[in-house]
A = this chain, B = another copy of it.
Amino acid sequence: MRRSRPLLRHLLSGAAARSRRSITYMPRPGDGAPRPVTLIPGDGIGPLVTGAVRQVMEAMHAPVYFETYEVHGHMTTVPPEVIDSIRRNKVCLKGGLATPVGGGVSSLNMQLRKELDLYASLVHCFNLPGLPTRHEKVNIVVIRENTEGEYSGLEHEVVPGVVESLKVMTKFCSERIAKYAFEYAYLNNRKKVTAVHKANIMKLADGLFLESCREVATKYPGIKYNEIIVDNCCMQLVSKPEQFDVMVTPNLYGNLVANTAAGIAGGTGVMPGGNVGQDHAVFEQGASAGNVGNEKLLEQKKANPVALLLSSSMMLRHLQFPLFADRLETAVKRVIAEGKYRTKDLGGSSTTQEVVDAVIAKLE
């Protein structure tokens, strides 16, 4: 045992960190120029966790600078200068925007996705080493159609007391989300794509979705494809999550599946995610369970910054700064693995700032 312990220590500490350096990346001249990114702190815990991202980016001297805009969930629309800024910068990082229940005010999150046509929402749910959960071997990416389906926002009151809500499914949107899901799997060396549906009941609507997925699947013979009905899917998620790899879903099912998968793998406080379209990308906490944190979290400043930190690392990779992304992810994972600084949702009692300081200390 004594002979192997130094080897174990070397493997655990040195090899993982040092093995990064043998990957070399030959940038084009000028690739190091700083890139502007639109930053929207948002509501609730938003300002707290986006502040955390700012601090860590500064500590790394990342070639990113932020253009900050104040947007709040109770506004009727997203201000035009914010949209202009995102169109110009192409990349945005945002905290959550609170969506008022009822009252006819449409969700600003949805508005933003429709305005910029961010048709794919991506949440990466995976077990973090050192964070104990009831489910192991979870490594699921949920790719969810973001613009139509049950969330079209088309509702009307037929007669007083009777409301109709339209779920719209189009071939166009189903095809492009299926294409994105298979392209994602291809580029990320994933082996299987699962389509989630309820076509036994909604034969035409979800049938159209499945048809598009099957067509795209034939173009990727190297990737396995299967389909699962959404209720069975939820049950399988909580009993045998290791069977899932990439999941492609319409809007509503994706929302639920993503939050479930986030929950089994460690909670919505740690899962990264983003929304992408042809031209723009908006990064935010992967799954937020529809809220922006409760009052107590806000007052005590104990919100979990990990999800947004990992999302900003996805953003750095999207901006083609892979080494900065690696450094950030490595530091965050070390902090979680060590277990000394954890917010309440991870079983600890640290504040946001303590977690941020720990991450900065572990940057190399």
A contact set with B: CB distance below 8 Å: 1-9, 11-13, 15-16, 19-32, 61, 63, 120, 122, 124, 126, 128, 139, 141, 176, 179-180, 183-184, 186-189, 222, 272, 274, 276-278, 281, 314, 317-318, 320-327, 329, 364
Copies of the polypeptide in the assembly: 2
Q: List 7 A-B contacts (CB under 8 A).
A: A5-B5, A20-B189, A21-B126, A22-B139, A24-B272, A32-B187, A61-B222
Smallest beta-carbon distance A18→chain B, Å: 8
Query: 10 nearest interchain CB pairs?
Result: A1-B1, A32-B183, A24-B124, A189-B323, A4-B5, A11-B12, A22-B126, A27-B187, A32-B186, A29-B180
Cβ–Cβ contact A4 & B9, under 8 A: yes
Min distance, Cβ A2 to any Cβ of chain B, angstroms: 6
Given the complex of chains A and B, what is the CA–CA distance between A15 and B314 in angstroms? 21
Which residue in B4, B11, B277 is a CB contact (below 8 Å) of A29? B277
Do A8 and B9 have beta carbons less than 8 Å apart? yes
Partner of A31, one of B28, B187, B222: B187
**Are B29 and A120 touching (Cβ within 8 A)?**
yes
Contacts of A189 in B (CB 8 A): 20-21, 323-324, 326-327, 364
Question: Can you name the residue of chain B whose Cβ is closest to the Cβ of A24?
Answer: B124
Query: Is B187 in contact with A28, judged by CB distance below 8 angstroms?
Result: no
User: Are B28 and A281 touching (Cβ within 8 A)?
Assistant: yes
Say yes or no: B8 contacts A12, CB within 8 Å: yes
User: How long is the Cα–Cα vector from A216 to B222 in the complex, in angstroms?
Assistant: 48
| B179→A29 contact, CB < 8 A | yes
Q: Which residue of B lies closest to A6 (CB)?
A: B4
Partner of A278, one of B2, B23, B29, B188: B29
Contact, CB under 8 Å: A25 / B317: yes
Do A188 and B25 touch (CB < 8 A)? yes
A124 to chain B, nearest CB (A): 4
From residue A262, how far is it (CB to closest CB) to chain B in Å? 14
A21 to B179, CA, bound (A): 21
Could you tell me if B13 and A11 are in contact, using CB atoms closer than 8 angstroms?
Answer: yes
Interchain CB contact under 8 A, A314 and B16: no
- The answer to whether A1 and B9 touch across the interface, beta carbons within 8 angstroms, is no
A321 near B29 (CB under 8 angstroms)? Answer: no
Query: B126 to A187, Cβ gap below 8 A?
Result: no
The answer to whether B29 and A314 have CB atoms under 8 Å apart is no
